[in-house]
Each structure stands twice: as C-alpha cells, then as structure tokens.
Structure 1
Amino acid sequence: MTAHSGRGADRPDSRGRTGLHRAGLDLTGNPDVRVERVEVTSDGWHVLRRTTFAYRRRDGRVDTQQRETYDRGNGATILLYDPTRRTVLLTRQFRYPAYVNGHPDGLLIETAAGLLDNDAPDVAIRREASEELGVTVGELRHVFDLYMSPGSVTERLHFYVAAYGPADRVDAGGGLAEEGEDIEVLELSLADALAAVADGRIVDAKTVILLQWAALTGLI
C-alpha cells in the first residue's frame, strides 16, 4: 500500500528526492514480515519514516506493528594507530545531541568517521581521515560492520583500522569549515585512550569498540 503522497514521495523534497515512501515495500528476506505502508514524516537532510507492517510471531499470531526509522545513510569509521610509538589518532568535536542529553560540554573524543555519501566505504573513510585528521591513509584493514542503534536508526557502520606514521600526517586536519566542522586532532597513547574509556572521558560507542578491539587483539 503506497497511498502516501507529498514531498519526498511523489514530489521532490528539499534535496530533490522522490520515492522515499517506497523503502521496504519490496523486502522478501523474512517471510514473517509484510510491509504494508510507508509514510515519510520528515524530509530534512535525513529521512524519518513511519512504517506499518504485519509480523507473524513465533506462536503463529499475526500482529500489526508500526516503527519509526531514521535513515541517515551508512557510514564508516577508522582507528589510526602508530605501531612503533603505540599511539592512536582521535578527534574531539562538539556534538549537540550529546550535549542536550547530559554530556557536560558536548565535546566528544572519537575516531574519525563520516557518512558514505554514495562512495564505497573504503573511499569514504580515506576522505574522512584526510579531512578530519590530515592523514593520507595507506593499507586499510576492514574489521566488521555494525548496526549502532538498530531499534530506530537504519545506519550500518563500516569499521576500519590502519597504521600511520609521522610522515602520513600531511596537514593539520580539522574538518571542513563549510560543513560546520571544528575538529581538534588528538594523538594519545593507546594506554591513555583506554584509560579515558575506563574513566568516562571517552563515551562514543564506535570509539570504545575500536579501542577495545585493538587492545583485545594486541594490534598495538
């Protein structure tokens, strides 16, 4: 059922997109789920949808359920590490959603990351490492792909690690001012970064995951 119309559906939204109300209607991977209706409830830079679907429970009973999904596209993140000096390169930047939800100053320490913007994940993360950290990335290692908030956000995040050295830091980084970015580059020892996880100075999920993975695997 596709009775929904309006911006982002039959008419272009602010980014010229149409057909946003059809996402999920062609899914067949789970025979116990039948998508019945998709409504675009917000057509800003990212897309908020309300989806109605029939769900067959394990006891055979069929429920009609609704879920809202926030579609911001998929992303990639990278932990850059120096195996000789046992350091990692991280960012610090202001995150309003964290600030409004209890973080004291909203300044979060994170691994470099960004949305794919229609690029392949490896291409996107090289771009983000250059823009945010000022690093030219060499050989990449793909670690895993994770859904970070699967109850409401569709994003799948691609995780990478890569070695770097002083010669790979070709400029100061800092992000793109035209996109509102004001990023501080931090070089920490792995030990100090892990201590920051333990004492609550690092609270970003993707960063905690990559730092703990590096420690568990003996990466550096």
Structure 2
Amino acid sequence: MSGQPGVDVPDHRGRTGLDQAGRTLDRNPDVVVRDVELTSQGWHVLRRTTFDQRRRDGRWSTLQRETYDRGDGATILLHDAARSSVLLTRQFRFPAYVNDHPDGMLIETAAGLLDDDDAETAIRREVTEELGVTVGPVTHVFTAYMSPGSVTEKVHFYAAPYSPADRTGPGGGVAAEGEDIEIVELSLGSALAMIDDGRIVDGKTIMLLQWWALTTS
C-alpha cells in the first residue's frame, strides 16, 4: 500500500510528517486540536485543521480552518536620510495581477523567505541579491502576521541606512529562481504620494514607509 507524499513517504522536496504541524499545541486552554489533514504540498503546504474552541459564553464549537504555510519572511527599508530617499524594488507579482492589479508590477521593499537562516541573515542576503547593496547595522522595527486568517507567515521588518557607496553589486534578483527585479530609488515624499494615489499597494512596503515617515517627522 502506497503512502501519502509529505505524510508517511517523502514528497518532491523530501519532506514527511507535514500533517503533524499544530497537533500538540496546548498554549491556549480554550482550543483543542483534533485533526490535521494535508491537502496540498506544492512548494509550500496547505493544511486543513479541525479543532474545538470554547466560546466566550462557555459553549464549545468544532471548527475547521485551512492554513497556508510558506515559512516566515523578512523585509527591509533602505533609507538615505541625507538625501531623504528610499531604495525599493519593482517586480511582477502574479497573485496581484490575477486579482485586479493593472499589470502585476509591484513596487516593494526588498524581502524574502528565511529558508534555514535567521531573520537578519536572510534579509542581508535578500538586500544583496535584489538591490546589490551591502548594508551595515540594521534595525529590527517589528514582527507582524500579515494575513492571520489563513497564512501562518510572520514577517520580520527591518530598516537600515544606505548611501550610493553601498551599492556593491548589480542586484536584480537571482535569475536561476526566475527573478527579474528593477531597482527603484525614490524620495520619501514621492513614495508616500504613490501610496496615496495607488501606485504603491504592497502592505509591507506601506507599513515601513509610514514607519519611516513617522520616525523622521
């Protein structure tokens, strides 16, 4: 009898036990996990979890929720206080394109998944790959769940100063991974105006730009 890939036999990435996530959670006495079903294991993982939850009136309800697990990520805003500028990226995002964005080309802060690295190591890697910048000290701004209704991902937000002298490589992303990233330098005022008129619509980017605007006001 053949097993289920990702559960009791390796999937295409060599993973097993993907149905175990969350089964032993007990931090919240009002939530009891009953079952975890692996529904898809592409590059990332989709699960359906059945759990009992005690409501505020004391009654228990049995619920099911699907969660998409793509790992955690990190993002960073590079800012040049002397020139009041920020360094961003522009690249095609199919999920935005299929959901009404005019052309799918989003202006964003540099970002990426942690993979097996800690958050700071990962964001330094992404800055080099995407922007061609070698950064010095970075500041951890905050960590946030970006879509907690269905996505498990936590994003670690960073900021760091940069200058033209810090541009040590071409950037543009990793071609072998299908990346084709344009480097975009904007004044902070222009970037904020692009939030207002809808040219910047990426959530993490808006959060970091607004944070930087508050910090410098």
State the AA in 1 paired with 2:166. D
- Runs of at least 4 residues off by over 3 Å: none
One-letter code aligned to 1:127? R
Return the letter of the residue paired with 1:104.
P
The size of the alignment, in residue pairs, is: 215
Matched to 1:25, the amino acid is R
Task: State percent identity of aligned pairs.
Answer: 69
Corresponding position of 1:36: 34
The alpha carbon displacement at 1:83 in A equals 1.1
For 1:123, the aligned partner's letter is T
Looking at structure 2, the residues matched to 26 and 83 of structure 1 have their Cα atoms a distance apart, in angstroms, of 47
Alignment of 1:34-113 (within 5 A): 34-113=32-111
Query: Matches of residues 173-184 of structure 1 in structure 2 within 5 Å?
Result: 173-184=171-182
Segments of 5+ residues of structure 2 without an aligned counterpart are none
C-alpha distance in structure 1 between counterparts of 2:140 and 2:109, whole Å = 15
Q: 1:8 aligns with which of 3, 6, 14?
A: 6
Q: Does 1:197 align with 2:201?
A: no
Q: How far apart, in 2, do the equivalents of 1:114 and 1:96 lie? A: 16
SS at match of 1:22: coil
Quote the offset at 1:50 in angstroms.
0.3
Amino acid corresponding to residue 96 of structure 1 in structure 2: F
2 CA distance for matches of 1:128 and 1:107?
19
Q: Which runs of 5+ in 1 are unaligned?
A: none
CA distance in 1, matches of 2:135, 2:95: 30
Q: What's the TM-score once normalised by structure 1's chain length?
A: 0.96
3-state SS in 1 of match to 2:19: helix
